[in-house]
Structure 1
Amino acid sequence: MKRILTLLLLFAALSSNAQNYLFIGIDSRSKELAGNADMIMIMTVHKENLKMASIMRDTYVNIPGHGMDKINASYRYGGAKLLISTINNNFKTKISSYIVVDFINAAKAVDMLGGLDMTVTDEERQQINNYVKEQVMYNNNKYVELTDTGNVKLNGDQVLAYTRIRHTAGGDRKRTERQRTVFNMIIKKMSSDKVSMGTLKSMFLLFNTNIDYHAAMETAGYVLLDPHHKWPETKVFPAEDYSRGWIKNGIWYLKADLPTMGKDINEYIKN
């Protein structure tokens, strides 16, 4: 009851204006990979709804001061600020707030929630186990093999591995869908009375962000209390009809019509 009353106060304090947050997942398995933006997702909080927009990490864009490259390289060049600048400059968005989580802390956050109930195929199960074997070499966790398929409970390492799967039907587009599915499940789990304010604060401390703690809790209260926000609308950009794979100097890029992509993103997150 105390948690609900606290969140209600935070809910009342939140502005009715839409707010955009950039969630960035970075690959932290080694120093060499620590700069890669493995997940790029815009979360937009409206008074009426909640939306998530994934940006494909291989999208070929103009990175300020660095020229044309994959959008995920902007984080390696200049962190969250340059990635935000890259998104705003290429797509005419207005994003200023960011939340960065690395591989190790992403798994810790899920474990704080007691894991997630997910639906996995046998093909996904095999890939989850392969990724987890690699991950535990870096985070020193115990390897726990996933033996079942269908509706199963995944621990933090297994959930992280699930979001990394890309070598299945649908490729990287399906991978971004898995990432958004996990976000949905986390929001659903966090909205439960079983998750305390202390747990939410501990999770917040795992992230690198420019958002004030109290402002973050205001938004969290708003999202978690409103039933319309429990299952956010999700989409991936660029759309397939104006993007294509492209190889330059032996490197694969996703080349898109950037003005059209920017128009689509803005229409999606504003409405």
Structure 2
Amino acid sequence: MEQLGQEPPPPSATTYRAGRRGRRGADRAAGTGRRPRRWLRRILPALLVVVVLLVAGAAALYLWAGGQVRHVPAIGTYPGRPAAGAGTNWLLVGSDSRAGLTAQQRKELHVGNDGGRNTDTVMVLHTGVHGPSLVSLPRDSYVPVPGHGRRKINEAYADGGPQLLTRTVEQATGLRIERYAEVNFLGLVQVVDALGGVRICPEKPLKDARSGADFRAGCQHVDGRQGLAYARARYSDPQGDLGRVKRQRQLMAAVADRMLGTGMLLHPSRPVPVARTTLAAIRVDDGAGMRQLWDLGWSMRKITGGAGRAVTVPVARPGVSVSGAGDVLLWDTPRARLLFQALRRDDPIPTSVTN
């Protein structure tokens, strides 16, 4: 028996070794032994090297891509230009330019030889604290085009190029446009093909001889030519241009989702060709670079994932016939004003303008 106030004798060597063996056995039984830790110490340096190489490769790709960005003078100043609001506004344009298309490609894409100077797609992407909002402005919207009177909004591009289109949108919406991005027919086809195709999900069968669209209802994988046909179809759609803008949004969101999805990372050979094709297809304003394009892509992907809103400007009367202009769309001015006021203030879009 130990005496009070006396320290216990130190353990013997035999007792110490037995204790260590007992603890190792318990560690092995619990899965916490030293052998896994030694294995981890060996693998960590290799993992660190892999991470460093991936980061270095991503940085090199980012720097290279920055030098490939193509610019166009799209944003100018003029008297009475709307003041800057909260958040950032992009003008996204799909040009119907036939530049670079061979006769065979025109036939395959069902675009013909006419036109080629208007815009098939006009959208405003607003980014702010409430997430991104994408607003489609139908190409047949009847609005004032500075210096040309009231015309369809898509004709502003033909009348004065990107700067006149930007000014037209600013004055029609009251929003200041800070960023601009444009892609043409051929560029869209090439981007979708470089991605290995994208996934679309029509709610109803869609067949349109003039665009070449022929789709069953439900989700399906499409290539670039099919994607373009899907986005351009309108003549067989009872909603006409209003139905087309919905499909345009769906296609753009599908491209962004595919481009920034995990599948891209699982194909190490794909990012460079995709980046090269995309940067060759797109033109942005003089102040935009890779960071802005990256933000644009993520905003579109958020909309795909439900973290944003996608709407069409409220229309009062579709299919109104105007002498010299043909069938046009007239905006519902009070509701459109509420929509653009919300974007200018970076407020959530009121449900009253989307119903």
The interval holding the TM-score normalised by the smaller chain is 0.7 to 0.9
1:131 — aligned with what?
Answer: 211
Corresponding position of 1:59: 141
Determine if the alignment matches structure 1 residue 118 to structure 2 residue 187.
Answer: no
Unaligned regions of 5+ residues in structure 1, if any? Answer: 11-16, 134-145
The code of the aligned residue for 1:192 comes to: G
Structure 2 unaligned runs (5+)? 1-50, 63-85, 99-111, 265-269, 348-355
Partner residue in 1 for 2:34: none
- The code of the aligned residue for 2:124 comes to I
Structure 2 Cα separation of the partners of residues 76 and 245 of structure 1: 22
Structure 2 distance, partners of 1:101, 1:80, is 12
1:19-70: CA deviation from partner (whole Å, max 9, x where unpaired): 2111111112466412111110111222441211000111111111111111
Q: Secondary structure at 2:183's aligned position in 1?
A: strand
Q: Among 260, 263, 266, which residue is 2:341 paired with?
A: 266
Asked whether the 8 Å contact 2:88–2:178 carries over to 1, the reply is no
Q: What is the CA distance between 1:260 and its match in structure 2?
A: 4.6
Cross-structure match for 1:216:
292
Shift of 1:230: 3.5
Which of 226, 240, 257 is equivalent to 1:158?
226
**Matched letter for residue 44 of structure 1:** H
Structure 1 residue 180 corresponds to structure 2 residue 255: no
Q: Residue 33 of structure 1: SS of its match in structure 2? A: coil
Equivalent residue number for residue 140 of structure 1: none
Q: How far did residue 215 of structure 1 move?
A: 3.2
Counterpart CA distance in 2 for 1:227 and 1:38 is: 24
Q: Which SS does the other structure have where 1:181 is aligned?
A: helix
Choose the corresponding residue for 1:204, options 266, 276, 279: 279
Q: 1:68 to 1:122 in 2, by over 3 A?
A: closer
Q: Pick from 171, 187, 192: which aligns with 2:240?
A: 171
How many residues are treated as equivalent by the alignment? 246
Structure 1 vs Structure 2: percent identity of aligned residues?
Answer: 23
The C-alpha deviation readout for 1:186-210, integer Å capped at 9, x for no partner, is 2221221333653235312211221
Check if 1:44 corresponds to 2:126: yes
Q: 1:102 is aligned with what amino acid?
A: N
What is the rounded CA distance, in whole Å, between the counterparts of 2:295 and 2:257 in structure 1? Answer: 15
**Which residue is equivalent to 2:117?**
35
Residue 152 of structure 1, CA deviation: 1.5
CA shift in 2, pair 1:172/1:3, >3 Å: farther
- The alpha carbon displacement at 1:173 in A equals 1.1
Query: Which is worse superposed, 171-180 or 184-193?
Result: 184-193
Q: 1:55 to 1:222 in 2, by over 3 A?
A: closer
Match of 1:79 in 2: 161
Q: Which residue does the alignment assign to 1:14?
A: none
Deviation readout 1:92-137 (Å, 9 max, x if unpaired):
111032111111111111111111112236741x32x75249xxxx
Contact 1:50 1:229 (8 Å CA) reproduced: no
- Residues of 2 paired with 1:260 and 1:24: CA distance? 23
Could you tell me which residue of structure 1 aligns to residue 330 of structure 2?
A: 255
The answer as to 2:171 corresponding to 1:105 is no
Residues 204/48 of structure 1: CA separation in 2 closer, same or farther (3 Å cut): farther
User: Aligned in 2, Cα 1:217/1:5: closer, same or farther, shift over 3 Å?
Assistant: farther
Task: Find the counterpart in structure 2 of residue 68 from structure 1.
Answer: 150
What SS class does the counterpart of residue 211 from structure 2 fall into?
Answer: helix
In structure 1, C-alpha distance between the alignment counterparts of 2:215 and 2:245, rounded to whole Å? 24
2:310 paired residue number: 234
Aligned to 1:90: 172
TM-score normalised by L of structure 1: 0.78
CA RMSD of aligned residues (A): 3.1
More strand by share: 1
Alignment-derived partner of residue 44 in structure 2: none
TM-score, normalised on structure 2? 0.61
For the pair shown, which has the larger CA radius of gyration, 1 or 2?
Answer: 2
Q: Supply the distance in 1 between the matched residues of 2:249 and 2:327 (Cα, whole angstroms).
A: 24
Q: What does residue 77 of structure 2 align with?
A: none
Higher RCO (CA < 8 A, seq sep 6+)? 1
